[in-house]
Amino acid sequence: MRDALAAWLDGMRALDGASEHTIAAYAQDLRGFLGFIAGHHGGAGGLRQIAEITQSDLRAWMASERAGGLGSRSLARKLSALKSFARWLAEREGFDISPILAARAPKFSRNLPRPLSVEAARDVIAMAPLQSRDDWTGARDAAVITLLYGCGLRVSEALGLTGRDLPLRDSLRILGKGGRERLVPVLPAARDSVAAYLRACPHPVEPDMPIFRGKRGGPLSRRHVAKVMEAARLQLGLPATATPHALRHSFATHLLAAGGDLRAIQELLGHASLQSTQIYTAVDTTRLMEIYAAAHPRAGQ
């Protein structure tokens, strides 16, 4: 079973381009499930252990996870990992895994992203450099925040840019989650912001070094970006949902509100499936209904 699990994870990594974070989560999920089943039946089993799983076993496992405080979303993810592994194993060994495939994931409400308004996003960009005592670090923070909102980058993607990506042109090639590559348009404001930072930065630009550096010259940390965003939102009176990642949500939501095509936004964000991008249509509709409720003279009657 251990060898089969390792082979499946290797296939996920090589064929599906799953990230190391995803691989580690799947491995933990499956080992936890197999450990429960072994204890539930009074001993470790081999590969046939998967074929002999019943709906009663699955209900007992899910009840145990719930009793341990696991939420519906996390339990649904674990069940998804189990089904994926079981399908792979069934194809190799000829098992009947109908009970596993028939198991229903618990329902959960999908949390909608909380984008900033256009005005709030602009205010955050203006406020970011004011959180630093040094001109060059202030310019750096403004450049990072501008890239998150102006290009829809993840924090890791912005901080992963190196000297090889310079000078910034009209588009930027980004290697995102799962090794998926995409081209992202770079607005003049983002190029100008990065150029202003580079002119002020005391550390030399090197091809294999990150563009964004800490005070001592090392790579800038995600935690620092989060602290800058936190300070800016407190000063602007924005909610706790105004995080660095919320700028990426804002990028997508504002594009959609301006008439952007959902497929194009999917490509810009680097989502593997359109389902991940479609959540922004729900955000847009929610905002529309809020405006309606606040503005329509008969909405409150």
Catalytic residue numbers read 154, 177, 245, 248, 271, 280
Backbone angle region of 69, left / alpha / beta, with phi > 0 → left and psi within -120 to 50 → alpha: left
Burial class (CB in 10 A: 0-12, 13-18, 19+), 245: middle
- The 10 Å CB-count burial string (b at 16+, else e) for 253-278 is bbbbeeeeeeeebbebbbbeeeeebe
Angle among Cα 173, 177, 182 to the nearest 5 degrees reads: 25
Long-range contact list for 282-289, CB < 8 A, 24+ apart? 282/112, 283/112, 283/113, 283/115, 283/249, 283/253, 284/253, 284/256, 284/257, 286/112, 287/253, 287/257
The pair of three-digit structure tokens given for residue 246, joined into one six-digit string: 């919320």
